[in-house]
Structure 1
């Protein structure tokens, strides 16, 4: 009987240690995965090919990340449909943009919310996960301020946007990603209030220029 009690105590200790360290491990994997998929390693041809990949756009099916999904994303990294990069210098955020909003995609970076959206046209909408008190994925956006500059690139051109509005909206307010007449926008969506609402950031298009003219912006 004492032998079984000892085994049980060891198992409880192991489980307790896993619960303590699993979140930091998960965060470290996500951070490394985002860096691994930095668009500096992708050509314009790679981006064009990835734009043709099949993708999941069912944002309503997105769930909180589990360690299993993060590990699965790491395994799939070499086949991830990277189509660009987003940089917010004032909050030190730089992430790959990937096609769609599947679980693996959102474990690595920002996902596109609409199938046919194009940078510099209409309302280009991206989604990303938020982790409280962390600096991974879309978490830094909570520190962003109106007036901040946001850069998005498809490895051919760089598109510059200026943050115009930042607000918490209902999870059902999907109108926020709709195209608006005569407006060119960037919309960024992440969780708020423990997932019951959304943080929505919208930025106005300023200008675009060839990527060769903006290499300093794209440095990690």
Structure 2
């Protein structure tokens, strides 16, 4: 009897190992679609933005299957504070306050507690997954001049991409998220889908702010 049970365990474990990459991608796809800021109100997003949050940049690294499942269970709609759209590369994701494992599996995350949409430097981090169309993976295809639209459902903040580069040293990583007088945005993701110490950094300037038409 125990041999049959042991064989069943081995089969199940083997199946999970084989299918885990596909299950992980599927779970992330569901999460990013479920937490859609456009389904909330501007007042709710503003209330969410008043909450405290955690900022741990080490979470930007590629997540394991176990981390994906665990973080997915902790995903909270109260972290959603906006939406980001980059039509030229197919990005349409919620913006969440705090660089946590759970938030990074849902969409783009803020990287400083004091950042304000449309003011100074507005940095966002996102995962680069095996499926290139997920989360911030499409940023690897972005071109200078592309338009990035962020919204808090009160206003739409339109940025124009001016640069994209890869950085690796810690000093540069710290500098790109610093506050600035210039109104700009900074989008950050890993340069590859495996463990890496390099970031792709996409930056752009604010070109206009318009009332949101939901």
TM-score surpassing 0.5? yes
Structure-1 residue corresponding to 2:19 = 21
Q: Secondary structure at the match of 1:29?
A: helix
Q: Alpha carbon RMSD of aligned pairs, Å?
A: 2.1
SS of structure 1 residue aligned to 2:118: coil
Task: Provide the C-alpha distance between the structure 1 equivalents of 2:210 and 2:82, rounded to a whole number of angstroms.
Answer: 15
CA distance in 1, matches of 2:90, 2:59: 29
User: 1:206 maps to what in 2?
Assistant: 207
2:179 matched to which residue of 1? 179
Map residues 25-40 of structure 1 onto 2, 5 A cutoff: 25-40=23-38
- Alignment CA distance shift 1:196-1:78 (3 Å): closer
Residue aligning to 1:218? none
Q: 2:105 aligns with which of 98, 104, 107?
A: 107
Q: Residues 27-106 of structure 1: matches in 2 within 5 Å?
A: 27-106=25-104
Paired residues of 2:75 and 2:103 also in contact (CA < 8 A) = no
Secondary structure of 1:71's counterpart equals helix
Deviates more, 1:93-102 or 1:18-27: 18-27
TM-superposed deviation, 1:171: 5.0
2:132 to 122, 131, 134: 134
The aligned length equals 210
TM-score, normalised on structure 1? 0.87
Which consecutive unaligned segments of at least 5 residues does structure 2 have?
none
Q: How far is the alpha carbon of 1:63 from its aligned partner?
A: 4.3
Contact in 1 for aligned 2:99/2:110 (Cα 8 Å): yes
1:139-173 CA-to-partner distances (Å, cap 9, x unmatched) read 11111111111100011100000111011001512
Normalising by structure 2, we get a TM-score of 0.89
Deviations 1:170-192 (A, max 9, x none): 151220112334x2111001112
Aligned-residue offset at 1:116: 1.1
Q: Deviations over 1:52-90 (max 9, x none)?
A: 112111213544323333334443445441000000001
**For structure 1, which runs of at least 5 residues remain unmatched after alignment?**
216-220
Secondary structure of 1:91 counterpart: coil
Secondary structure class of the residue paired with 2:88: helix
